Chain A
Amino acid sequence: MLYRENGQFKTSYRADQQIFPILQDRVAIALLVAFAVLGVPMLADDYIFRAILIPFVIMSLAALGVNILVGYCGQISLGSGAFMAVGAYGAYNFFVRVPDMPLIPALLLGGLCATCFGILFGLPSLRVKGLYLAVATLAAQFFSDWMFLRIKWLTNDSSSGSVSVNELQVFGLPIESALSKYWFCLGVLVVMAVLAKNLVRGAIGREWMAIRDMDVAAAVIGIRPMYAKLSAFAVSSFIVGVAGGLWAFVYLGSWEPAAFSVEISFRLLFMVIIGGLGSIMGAFFGAAFIVVMPIALNQFLPALMGLFGIEISTAGVSHAELMIFGGLIVWFLIVEPHGLAKLWSIGKQKLRLWPFPH
């Protein structure tokens, strides 16, 4: 009844092409953003900010970037952790070596470093595709692991590549409290999400999707595969790189190369696939699922086991977590291979017709 586009006539192309053509969507999104900015800080405490909300926001940003590459351009990448690492260490170098470097330009420059790295390791995509490419992008992962561990210059000559930053501030405002960190990350996320959404619905996004659906056919109708694939790598690794910078600077504070291991790459790919390939919305769902689930398992598993009178050791909990995590992922892929975003759109479709079945 409420969610229906009847009577909303478009009288100009501009109105027809806006991101959310339906009034209810615009209102809902505005409310959601307002809630995220103003409502959440009133409800959440420090622990929830640090353990759940900040990682969720940053990982959504990273998943958004990965989704552009994997979901929109169809190039499976297992090197996202490397792009994050390059973004983080790039931003670190600019931040430390350039005197009085402000935070935001440092993060953006880190993103640009990740872009260059991404284009370099995206070059194999011009020759190989599918699973071969997935394995090829692992090269980026292992190369970056090695690079930040062994090349001392990149990590400001610190031992074993562990570095830290402090006294972050934006426009003179300190980014110290959990709330300010959350707002900062959220701001970056919203800007990037709008940017990404506009890119994927523009000409370049349509080129990416054409390449994803059938690259030979796309080349035949005049889309340059090299340009399309490398631009997808560039945009994706820029966003992932900025997310990596945020992850390191804002969430971790001090980090080492192992923070961006191949495990992160796998998790990002999980987020994208569970959330839904080729959907900006999906990145958020996927990130929420993957970030929150291990924490929830960690919290509730011992309590749940306690109900049945089973004592479970810490190691046992972590093993059980692995099992449940793996099992849930498989289960999810079986029941909804198109991801949570598909469920979302089915729900919306149902809502349009409600209360009638057809």
Chain B
Amino acid sequence: MGFFLETLFGGLMAGMLYSLVALGFVLIFKASGVFNFAQGAMVLFAALAMARFAEWIPLWLGLDNALIANVLAFIVAGVIMFVVAWLIERLVLRHLVNQEGATLLMATLGITYFMEGLGQTLFGSDIYQINIGMPKDPIFLFESMFEGGVLVNKEDVIAAAIAAALVVVLSLFFQKTATGRALRAVADDHQAAQSIGIPLNRIWVIVWCVAGVVALVSGMIWGSKLGVQFSLTTVALRALPVIILGGLTSVPGAIIGGLIIGVGEKLSEVYVGPYVGGGIEIWFAYVLALVFLLFRPQGLFGEKIIDRV
């Protein structure tokens, strides 16, 4: 029982991290109908910027306070992501309005290649550390209830808390601010939103910026967990089942989908994996999502798909 709970918690924590990446996808898809494959590259890019500036800023300014250096690096990386978002909107998306979904998908794949190359040219291609002072030691929960208790990584708990906080902030932003209302209007119907005077281009820049910040936060957390390296881009592929499970257009869907996928992956790896040779977590997530899709083609929380001739 203790082991089961341990796996379950591990899955929930991992799921929270998937949700973070998935959130970036959902935000952009909702607002602009673009399936942004570049989210993974954005995570890598942001994490690289953060890691390198955290290294460089103390050298340039002669600081030795790690906290200030990290905060400054975070801000600089945030500004860089803003510039990236603005450039993507300006140079790519604006020219591709009204194109088919597949074309837009391919364009974001092109952006992915570009950003992978650019990120590694600017910031180097080794493995870097992001050290934001996350405690690495594990803690034990429920020791009174089970023998030995349940082992949980403190780092994971903090990461999950940051993710949860980000989700709360984003939902407040979407529900309570004027910009958030405009974003939701654009998501509902581009033309109607434009006709009542919402500037589409600005909204898209804002959405990509928000997705950039989400990428930065997830890059920071994933980077401090795994080290900042090229394989961070595959995080995006891991997060894809999450969004089709939760629904491409739903923020709560991204969260709950992430949790389901995280738990499903870990439990399947532990309880099914040994019988079939292990390493099944990657495709298991996809198959899990597929099974859900067979019953609800729009995902758990996606808008109902209505076909009209």
Contact = CB atoms under 8 A, between A and B. Distances in A.
A244 B99 CA distance: 31
A287 interface: no
Interface in A68-99: 70, 76
A322 to B, nearest CB: 3
B309 A326 contact: no
Given A146-B282, A220-B309, A326-B111, A130 B117 contact: no
Interface in A129-157: 130-132, 134-136, 138-139, 142-143, 145-146, 149-151
Interface stretch (B78-86, B153-161, B189-197, B287-295): B287-295
A15 B243 CA distance: 52
A326 B113 contact: yes
A255 interface: no
A326 B309 CA distance: 36
Query: Most B CB atoms within 10 A — which of A143, A216, A220?
Result: A143
Nearest to A143: B283
Given A135-B240, A323-B121, A330-B111, A216 B309 contact: yes
B115 A277 contact: no
A330 B282 CA distance: 29
Interface string B63-87: 0000000000000000000000000
Interface residues of B, number: 51
Contact of A139 (B107, B276, B290): B290
B125 interface: yes
A114 interface: no
Interface stretch (A38-46, A172-180, A266-274): A266-274
Contact of A329 (B91, B110, B278, B293): B110
A333 interface: yes
Contact of A217 (B107, B111, B116, B309): B309
- Is the interface on chain A under 10, 10 to 19, 20 to 34, or 35 or more residues? 35 or more
B96 interface: yes
A323 B117 contact: yes
Contact of B287 (A131, A143, A316): A143
Contact of A270 (B106, B125, B299): B106
A145 B284 CA distance: 12
A215 B106 CA distance: 23
Main secondary structure on A side of the interface with B: helix
Q: Residue among B120, B298, B308 with the most chain A CB within 10 A?
A: B120
A124 B276 contact: no
A76 B276 CA distance: 30
B99 A337 contact: yes
B199 interface: no
Interface in B157-171: none
A337 B107 CA distance: 10
Which one of A130, A149, A330 has the highest number of Cβ atoms from chain B below 10 Å of its Cβ? A330
A333 B279 contact: no
A334 B120 contact: no
A143 B286 contact: yes
Nearest to A267: B109
A321 B117 contact: yes
B293 A76 contact: no
B112 A319 contact: no
A323 B113 contact: yes
B142 interface: no
B118 interface: yes
Contact of B107 (A70, A151, A333): A333
Contacts of B299: 132
Contacts of A139: 241, 283, 286-287, 289-290
Given A143-B286, A322-B114, A333 B103 contact: yes
B117 A319 contact: yes
A31 B120 CA distance: 46
B25 to A, nearest CB: 10
A33 to B, nearest CB: 30
Contacts of A14: none
Contacts of B99: 333, 337
B105 interface: yes
A316 B237 CA distance: 26
Contacts of B120: 315, 319, 322
Contacts of B109: 266, 269-270, 326, 329
A325 interface: yes
Nearest to B29: A131
A320 to B, nearest CB: 7
17 contacts: A76-B101, A132-B244, A138-B237, A142-B282, A145-B282, A216-B307, A273-B103, A322-B116, A323-B114, A323-B117, A325-B110, A326-B111, A326-B112, A328-B110, A330-B114, A334-B107, A337-B99
Which 9 A-B pairs give the minimum distances between C-beta atoms? A326-B113, A322-B117, A326-B114, A323-B117, A139-B286, A329-B110, A150-B277, A330-B110, A142-B283
Given A315-B125, A333-B107, 14 more contacts: A134-B35, A134-B102, A135-B243, A269-B109, A325-B110, A326-B109, A326-B111, A326-B115, A327-B110, A327-B114, A329-B107, A329-B109, A330-B114, A334-B92
